[in-house]
């Protein structure tokens, strides 16, 4: 669609493994050399690993195209097979005839061995390439090892190349696979592109399709690298969408703002930033990181939770309402319109208690520039501490908690220690407004640096933010170019920690639910949360009526959204809110 617009012959950033576009960094060149050399050598395993999207398959395709005529190749792209199915697939790749009805693994191995002996007698070599090898079962890996026992007196008959993601190395490190590991003769790991290599990679692909000049500005390339972390596949996705955006806006030069917009449309939240850095704030074991990433991958556009038992906050908090400022003007509001606790976190020592850092919010607000200009100045101020610990210290202080004093390695573990729950994921302003709790947002500033800021009030299209201890109020649209939807917030669940309350459930949290609805409806609290009560049809009707009034999904089930809305409606001042409704 945009080929004529840019004067090019083909799309330069397709994600298919077209070897015309192969760009060899020194690491990729070494990897290619390892594969080509290994393919013509006798015996053993060659191991090539790399993160998703770093170019393993492209490199593999290039190797296949450059194989000498005397080398036969069996390429396995789907390794999720049994041992018998895998050997049958190898026979299919090498055009080895066999009885399709056979159920004998030995028969198939014998047919393969006979083929290898004939090829050896003719001076030919055979190479088995297994892509996505991290998906191989342990018993299948053992069967592959046994294939290296097919040999003559002077050499092995089969060279095997395993290509996979980094977890393949962990799999091969298992004690039961030590015999296979000892037969690995060469290992190579592909890494993402550096900033300079990303720029050269983009130029290379554009030159292949005939583009002359610099389509992406220097700043745009920097943002591409920042958002992709140098992973070629993500670079392709961002650049492809950026070119579509430039075509749509009729511009022939792509700047960093266009790249940011494109990235927001094509990348998932777990691709735009490392949730381990954000949720953990420190080093985490690879297994834990992989687990959390897999959970996020299942629900890329929804919220995820880390559950904990609930309990009262230790400190009552005041609202922001009477002092929030909007666009350079001091506005006096009633407490019911905007609410969030106001605690100044300006100390450079994160271990100091929140209480020792408090001072009147009006004084704090008057010392900070408000509006869009103030927001831009703050997110680009390199002297402000806007990392994980600072943001989480601020967020937890709004719940009357001292973040550094809580037990746990991650923010969500510390929330658990404080009997709160943690929600993180991807959202827009509507969802943040609906959750109605202070939230940490991750933004990327004009220099491509990741910053963590805290939403402390949200009224209409105006948002109050704590940025490194400084408070500013600006329009939400001023934040949009720098925020790609990543957020984390806290909330308080029922005392017994129930995830869902619905008809037929019996427990103390059913009593809690009745108490809360009594308070909202202005009735005297009669049950008490210590009693184990049953969720009966009458309570279901009351929940449905509450959901209808509050604009929620009317199903009579008290899930997370309904519970959070109930907490907000009770107007418990120990729960910090972004805004409060009139009572």
pLDDT band at 198 (very low <50, low <70, confident <90, very high): very high
pLDDT band at 41 (very low <50, low <70, confident <90, very high): low
Share of the chain above pLDDT 90, in %: 22
**Alpha helices (runs of H) in 66-194, residue ranges in sequence order:** 83-93, 105-121, 138-147, 167-172, 178-181
Question: Distances from the Cα of 216 to the Cαs of 1, 213, 252, in angstroms?
Answer: 19, 9, 9
Average pLDDT, the chain: 77
Query: Could you identify the residue written with the tokens 């959390």?
Result: 292
Lowest mean pLDDT among 17-31, 197-211, 230-244, 313-327: 313-327
Rounded to an integer, what distance in angstroms lies between the CA atom of residue 413 and that of residue 410? 5
Rounded to an integer, what distance in angstroms lies between the CA atom of residue 221 and that of residue 195? 8
Distance between terminal CA atoms of the chain? 56
Rounded to an integer, what distance in angstroms lies between the CA atom of residue 378 and that of residue 381? 5
Q: Span 336-350, mean pLDDT?
A: 34
Which DSSP letter does residue 484 get? E
Is residue 373 over pLDDT 90? no
pLDDT one-digit tens code per residue, 470-506: 999 999 988 988 887 888 999 888 887 777 888 888 8
> So what's the pLDDT on residue 15?
83
Query: Which is more confident, 243 or 307?
Result: 243
Rounded to an integer, what distance in angstroms lies between the CA atom of residue 330 and that of residue 354? 26
State whether CATH 3.90.70.10 applies to domain 303-491.
yes
pTM beyond 0.75, yes or no? no
Contact, 213 vs 245, CB < 8 A? no
Strand partners, 514: none
**Alpha helices (runs of H) in 249-282, residue ranges in sequence order:** 256-266, 269-272, 275
Q: The CATH number of 3-16+193-267 is which of 3.30.470.10, 1.10.8.60, 1.10.1040.10, 3.90.1640.30?
A: 1.10.8.60
Rounded to an integer, what distance in angstroms lies between the CA atom of residue 26 and that of residue 30? 6
* Third-level CATH fold of 26-190: Rossmann fold (3.40.50)
pLDDT one-digit tens code per residue, 94-140: 999 999 888 899 999 999 999 999 998 998 888 999 999 988 888 89
Domain boundary assignment for the chain? 3-16+193-267, 26-190, 303-491, 506-558
pLDDT one-digit tens code per residue, 431-480: 888 888 999 998 888 777 888 999 999 988 899 999 998 999 999 988 98
64 — alpha (psi -120 to 50), left (phi > 0) or beta? alpha
pLDDT one-digit tens code per residue, 57-86: 888 888 888 888 888 889 998 888 899 999
> So what's the pLDDT on residue 236?
93
């Amino acid at each position: 669609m945009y080929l004529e617009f840019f004067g090019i012959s083909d799309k330069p950033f397709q994600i298919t493994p077209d070897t015309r576009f192969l760009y060899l960094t020194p690491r990729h060149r070494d990897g290619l050399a390892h594969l080509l050399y290994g393919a013509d050598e006798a015996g053993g395993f060659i191991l090539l690993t790399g993160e998703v999207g770093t170019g393993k398959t492209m490199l593999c395709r290039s190797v296949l195209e450059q194989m000498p005529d005397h080398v036969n190749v069996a390429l396995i792209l789907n390794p999720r097979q049994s041992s018998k199915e895998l050997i049958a697939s190898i026979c299919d790749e090498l055009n080895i005839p066999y009885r399709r009805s056979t159920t004998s693994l030995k028969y198939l191995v014998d047919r393969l061995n006979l083929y290898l002996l004939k090829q050896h007698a003719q001076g030919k070599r055979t190479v088995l390439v297994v892509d996505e090898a991290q998906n191989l079962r342990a018993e299948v890996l053992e069967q592959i090892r046994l294939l290296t026992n097919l040999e003559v007196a002077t050499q092995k008959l089969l060279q095997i190349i395993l290509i996979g993601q980094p977890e393949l190395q962990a799999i091969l490190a298992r004690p039961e696979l030590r015999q296979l590991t000892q037969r690995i003769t060469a290992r190579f790991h592909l890494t993402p592109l550096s900033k300079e290599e990303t720029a050269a990679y983009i130029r290379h692909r554009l030159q292949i399709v005939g583009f002359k000049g610099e389509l992406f500005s220097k700043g745009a390339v920097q943002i591409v690298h920042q958002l992709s972390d140098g992973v070629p596949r993500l670079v392709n996705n961002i650049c492809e969408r950026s070119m579509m955006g430039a075509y749509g806006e009729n511009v022939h030069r792509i700047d960093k703002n266009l790249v940011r917009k494109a990235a927001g449309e094509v990348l998932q939240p777990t691709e735009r930033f490392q949730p381990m850095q954000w949720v953990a704030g420190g080093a985490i074991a690879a297994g834990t990181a992989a687990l959390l990433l897999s959970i996020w991958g299942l629900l890329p556009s929804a919220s995820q939770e880390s559950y904990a038992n609930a309990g009262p906050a230790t400190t009552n908090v005041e609202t922001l309402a009477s002092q929030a400022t909007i666009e350079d003007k001091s506005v006096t509001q009633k407490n019911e319109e905007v609410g969030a606790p106001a605690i100044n976190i300006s100390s450079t020592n994160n271990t100091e208690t929140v209480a020792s850092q408090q001072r009147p919010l009006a004084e704090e607000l008057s010392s900070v520039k408000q509006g869009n200009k103030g927001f831009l100045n703050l997110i680009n101020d390199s002297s402000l501490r806007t990392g994980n610990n600072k943001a989480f210290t601020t967020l937890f202080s709004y719940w009357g908690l001292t973040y550094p004093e809580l037990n746990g390695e991650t923010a969500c573990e510390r929330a658990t220690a404080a009997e709160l729950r943690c929600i993180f994921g991807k959202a827009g302003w509507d969802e943040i407004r609906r959750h109605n709790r202070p939230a940490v947002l991750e933004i990327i500033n004009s220099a491509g640096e990741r910053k963590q800021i805290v939403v402390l009030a949200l009224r209409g299209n105006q948002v109050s933010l704590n940025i490194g201890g400084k408070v500013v109020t600006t329009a939400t649209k001023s934040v949009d170019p720098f925020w790609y939807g990543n957020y984390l917030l806290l909330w308080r669940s029922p005392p017994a920690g129930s995830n869902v309350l619905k008809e037929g459930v019996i427990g103390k949290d059913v009593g809690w639910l009745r108490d809360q609805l009594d308070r909202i409806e202005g009735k005297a609290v009669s049950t008490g949360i210590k009693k184990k009560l049953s969720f009966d049809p009458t309570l279901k009707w009351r929940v449905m009526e509450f959901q209808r009034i509050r604009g929620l999904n009317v199903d009579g089930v008290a899930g997370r959204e309904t519970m959070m809305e109930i907490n907000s409606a009770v107007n418990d001042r120990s729960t910090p809110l972004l805004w409060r409704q009139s009572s």
